[in-house]
Structure 1
Amino acid sequence: MSTIQFTAMTTTLARHYQAGGVDANGQTPETHVSDGDGVPCRHCLQNVKAGDKYLILSHRPFPAPQPYAETGPIFLHADECERYDAISDMPEMFRENSDYILRGYSRQDRIVYGTGGVIATDNIAARAAELLGRDEVAYVHMRSARNNCFQCRIDLHELNFAS
């Protein structure tokens, strides 16, 4: 049996950025202080609280540059935070918006045409599961419907039950 999994940025990559490592554009992340409004961390998948420092950086959520490997701005806690690791539960911070873009990608990290669309938040899990049920879709990206910023990756997770 399988379920969807909201997959956050790896801890290795988050720590690289938090230690001042360069981003996808070869730049050092910018440090800012959160006002508590609309600053979603892509590692813990929680909003950065007012008064806490965060980073703005250019992120490419793909293994290598290629024509479909979109690069764009994201936010990340400036200090270390715990990686989001829940399986099928949608992170609470995503429930604050009414909709998101979902788009399927192939095993070659290419957009699977016809999979992209703006999906109401209440329908994200069902649409992601539908897309991941297609043979040609290896994973799904969830992006902001307003600014197209990468939010997280959605994968299938195999549940193993011991007998």
Structure 2
Amino acid sequence: MRNFKIVPLSEGYASQLRTEKKDDYGLEVMEQLSTGAGPCRVSLQPFEIGKDIRLVFRHSPFEIKNAFDQPGPVFIHKKPVKAYKDIYNFPPDIKKDKDNFPLSLIGYNQEQKMVFTKLVGDEDVDELIEKIFKNHHNISYLHARNSEACCFICKIERL
């Protein structure tokens, strides 16, 4: 078994956004035709460009408000989807599409301070995550981010 698990946004949180049409900052959740691959932060599956309707909203993946709290735009499917289930493996559709999903892994300690960054590049992201958690005991969790857009994709927790 791996030493990590993938944590997507929850189905409940997505349902709340769809119902209330406001994000955690009180801003309107916007609806748009997908112009990029995404991915959906619940299913962790790419959007079908020009076909899928997505919701965009401001989201912070942090619990503590501090200098490292990085709210930004993220996307979910307009229609309800199931949360990503294969949590002990990085989402394969994101992993294999390095053109649409150039990845960075950013490590944080328990105080939510950034203590590590790594461009994934051509490395196998699953192996890299395992290596990071094995060799860097001060890292409590990682964020996977798009290296070009800098947007949050998912949280990766140490087991």
Identify whether the pair has TM-score above 0.5, normalized to the shorter chain.
Answer: yes
2:140 is aligned, of 134, 138, 141, to: 138
Contact persistence 1:2–1:156 (CA under 8 A): no
Contact persistence 1:132–1:140 (CA under 8 A): no
Following TM superposition, the consecutive aligned residue runs of length 4 or more in structure 1 with deviations greater than 3 angstroms are: none
Aligned residue in 1 for 2:54: 54
Q: 1:67–1:56: structure 2 CA closer, same or farther, 3 Å change rule? A: same
SS at the partner of 2:9?
coil
TM-score (norm 1): 0.83
Amino acid at match of 2:146: S
Q: Show CA shifts across 1:105-160 (max 9, x none).
A: 11122211xx1121125432222222222221110000001010001111234xxx
Runs of 5+ unmatched residues, structure 2: none
Q: 1:74–1:61: structure 2 CA closer, same or farther, 3 Å change rule? A: same
SS at the partner of 1:19?
helix
How many residues are matched?
154
Deviation at 1:82, TM superposition (A): 0.1
Give the alignment of 1:18-57 within 5 angstroms.
Answer: 18-34=18-34, 37-49=36-48, 50-57=50-57
Amino acid at match of 2:76: L
CA RMSD of aligned residues (A): 1.9
Report % sequence identity.
21
Runs of 5+ unmatched residues, structure 1: 158-163
Determine the C-alpha separation between the residues in 2 that align with 1:121 and 1:40.
Answer: 20
Aligned residue in 1 for 2:84: 84
Q: Show CA shifts across 1:35-76 (max 9, x none).
A: 5x4131000001233433210111100113221111111111
Q: 1:76–1:63: structure 2 CA closer, same or farther, 3 Å change rule? A: same
SS at the partner of 1:141?
strand
Q: Show CA shifts across 1:72-115 (max 9, x none).
A: 11111111100002132221331212531111011122211xx1
